[in-house]
Structure 1
């Protein structure tokens, strides 16, 4: 004889804890960040130029070399300078010999004048001859010094410390005064950003940027600061410069991705612990006067404070942890 088997099924809903933390919904100001590409640029790009005309007899640098301010980069030689200097030197030597003779004549004239043999006129003539030759010798020496200085200016000097980006004139080139020999990037580097013009009024000096440091290496700082926003918009782009530590050893023109703040807005941020996901939908438990119930919310981007709530909640709602 079988005894009937009675099954009792109890459907129960777990009670919500009355001590569950309640969070009142408020708005938070967040920054919208945009990923853009920036290029490594030198703060100043300088040109080393020739100061005299001539031929590059010696070239001391190549692309990529680091140079110090005032370092000799090339030597320009003008074949006409040596004969001119020799001619000026010969003229100065001849005048110096004439001056020696004139001083001896003046000494004799002074002696004869003291003994009353010659008149005052003879003495005055000898003194005038010495003064004239002294002036001519000084002028000749100055002319020779000018030529010697011009020959020294054949050395092409680095205008500042930095790295040689381009050598414009190889050895043996015939140069005119002022022609470029090398392009030098100063040893201070920055990141140059190109942003759409709609962000021109939302970025400013002092804004922080995030650098994709993995692309450049561990020596580069993860963040930087915008130090200049150029007032001119070209081809629908606004240009800004940002300083980032550790850029000194990279190639000029190298590209890197950065994130820059382009707008700030108010939104609702909710900690992840207050959100549950079921059947592909995200739910939040809201406490009202009638009790607690779940509502569907649409999530936005993740932030350090939590998750952005796009729709489903309003300011003042009381949210409890599920």
Structure 2
């Protein structure tokens, strides 16, 4: 019996007409298949040999490039920002010191500078003027009586030497003269009192300074209980009453410098803390730092202002705003560790200035901090850091 076996050159199974195959042909087929499989495996290893040789290079090619900075430390002034109002440093209320009456003339207005003792307003004194004139006449009468008593005494002294007047008469005339002189002093004292009372009808400045308010008008009837007619700033000195928390107040001391900026202007005025509140408001838990300011027409009492106070120096890393991130857990930055992996680092920020933001807790200044693109990183991400020069 004849057998015909056809071997497919592409590696397919042998074709037969249904009769049994020759064992030798079967072995050849297995040998050829093995050679083809070995060739395929060799090609696969050849194509993938580069991947196993440099796995790190592939990972680095996929790592994100980030800019980092080593901030170091910087000594910067520690500042406190507060708000408050402008006021006169020593406000002087001026009212009626005398009996009062009707105002006949007001000589100053708000905004005027005055000297100590300068008349601010005049109260009608027609009645007082008549009383002064009457008392002046009484002084003249008393003085005339004193002169007459002195003349009588002088004549008696000449006659006593001749024995025409007794020693008792001389003593009586001497007493009369002394009483007349005393009446002159009393009359003059009464005249001085009336003059002083009339002078007190003038409302005068108790010291030099700036008139802040005026509440007096001609025709107004005033009395000692009428209240404040003028208010003044002694020597024009101003202050800002800055409201601070207990913690910030404890960080300040008298003499601390401050920059005060009134609302509505960008101009800053230099001043110094001259008094710290000895008490804390029980409701707001705040105290007041009083900042002394020199006079300027831009400083209006009652106006609102903000102040930046210096409370010492701190040494801390400075970072730009782009490096500091925040979420519901607080502020943080990304630092790059020795394996070039991103690590989240919680931080506490402090002073903010044009140079950057001070990090008072969380950094030593020697770390590599991600400068930008921190929002696209996750903890543990592999990166390629580029240090900013």
Q: TM-score, normalised by structure 2?
A: 0.61
Match of 1:112 among 159, 171, 179: 159
CA contact (8 A) 1:211 1:257 kept: yes
Partner in structure 1 of residue 292 of structure 2: 243
CA drift at 1:129: 1.6
More helix by share: 2
> What is the aligned-residue RMSD (CA, Å)?
4.2
1:98 aligns with 2:145: yes
CA contact (8 A) 1:284 1:294 kept: yes
The change in CA–CA distance for 1:248 and 1:161 in structure 2 (over 3 A counts) is farther
CA contact (8 A) 1:54 1:79 kept: no
Rounded to whole Å, the distance in 2 between the matches of 1:155 and 1:114 is 57
Partner in structure 2 of residue 43 of structure 1: 89
Aligned residue pairs, count: 296
CA contact (8 A) 1:195 1:239 kept: yes
The change in CA–CA distance for 1:259 and 1:91 in structure 2 (over 3 A counts) is closer
Q: Deviations over 1:79-126 (max 9, x none)?
A: 432232233222222222222322332233223222222322222222
Rounded to whole Å, the distance in 1 between the matches of 2:138 and 2:201 is 24
1:171 aligns with 2:218: yes
1:127 aligns with 2:183: no
The change in CA–CA distance for 1:309 and 1:159 in structure 2 (over 3 A counts) is closer
Partner in structure 2 of residue 184 of structure 1: 232
Unpaired runs of at least 5, structure 2: 1-56, 62-67, 324-332, 370-385
Rounded to whole Å, the distance in 1 between the matches of 2:221 and 2:107 is 17
Partner in structure 2 of residue 257 of structure 1: 306
Rounded to whole Å, the distance in 1 between the matches of 2:224 and 2:262 is 44
Q: Deviations over 1:184-241 (max 9, x none)?
A: 12211111112344544344434444444794464x43x5433322122233132111
Rounded to whole Å, the distance in 1 between the matches of 2:215 and 2:96 is 12
The change in CA–CA distance for 1:215 and 1:113 in structure 2 (over 3 A counts) is same
CA drift at 1:74: 1.0
The change in CA–CA distance for 1:244 and 1:298 in structure 2 (over 3 A counts) is farther
CA drift at 1:318: 5.7
Unpaired runs of at least 5, structure 1: 1-10, 15-20, 276-281
The change in CA–CA distance for 1:192 and 1:98 in structure 2 (over 3 A counts) is same
Rounded to whole Å, the distance in 2 between the matches of 1:191 and 1:270 is 32
Rounded to whole Å, the distance in 1 between the matches of 2:174 and 2:216 is 55
1:52 aligns with 2:98: yes
| Paired residues for 1:1-322 under 5 Å | 23=70, 35-55=81-101, 56-177=103-224, 179=226, 180-186=228-234, 187-197=236-246, 199-212=248-261, 215-216=264-265, 218=267, 220-221=268-269, 223-234=270-281, 235-236=283-284, 237-244=286-293, 247=296, 249-260=298-309, 268-270=317-319, 285-286=336-337, 288=338, 292=340, 303=353, 306-307=356-357, 317=367, 321-322=387-388
Q: Residue 118 of structure 1 aligns to a residue in which SS?
A: coil
**Who wins on radius of gyration, i.e. which is larger?**
2
Bigger drift between 152-161 and 31-40 goes to 31-40
The change in CA–CA distance for 1:41 and 1:110 in structure 2 (over 3 A counts) is same
Partner in structure 2 of residue 7 of structure 1: none
More strand by share: 1
Q: TM-score, normalised by structure 1?
A: 0.72
CA drift at 1:43: 0.6
